[in-house]
Amino acid sequence: MAFTPSKDQKRREREQKKLDKRLAKEEARAEKLAIQQAAEDAAFEEAEKEAAEMTEAEIQAKLEADFEAELAAEAAEKAKAEGAEDSER
């Protein structure tokens, strides 16, 4: 007589298959998250390294350039506001 698996055995196999599939998805998700965090950490470390390599003169030049950009933006804003006042008259 041939042996056939019982309904209970088939159910256990289906449940095990579902469990294996879910665990594989969770592992893939965790691996993807770990890769993403490693990339972010590497980018942060690169930025820190780049900032540490800047000389004092480069830092001062960057600050001055930022300040000049702010002044230019404020001047443009002021000119735009004055232009709007003139058009109202």
Q: What secondary structure does DSSP assign to the chain, as a single string? A: ------HHHHHHHHHHHHHHHHHHHHHHHHHHHHHHHHHHHHHHHHHHHHHHH--HHHHHHHHHHHHHHHHHHHHHHHHHHHHHHHHH-
Between 84 and 46, residue with greater pLDDT: 46
Q: Are residues 45 and 67 in the same domain?
A: no
**Residue range 15-23: mean pLDDT, rounded:** 97
| Residues 48 and 64 reside in one and the same domain | no
Instruction: Dump pLDDT digits (tens) for 23-62.
Output: 999 999 999 999 999 999 999 999 888 777 777 778 888 8
- Express each pLDDT in 68-78 by its tens digit: 999 999 999 88
The answer as to whether 87 is a domain residue is: yes
Q: Print the domain residue range for 35.
A: 7-53
Tell whether the model's pLDDT for residue 15 goes beyond 80: yes
Question: Considering its fold, how many domains does the chain have in total?
Answer: 2
Q: What is the pLDDT of residue 11?
A: 94
Residues 42, 11 within the same domain: yes
- Are residues 11 and 49 located together in one domain of the fold? yes
Same-domain status, 40 and 12: yes
Same domain, yes or no, for 16 and 34?
yes
Residue 89 in this model has a pLDDT that exceeds 60: no
Q: Say yes or no: 12 and 48 in one domain.
A: yes
Give the predicted TM-score (pTM) of the model.
Answer: 0.46
Same domain, 70 and 82: yes
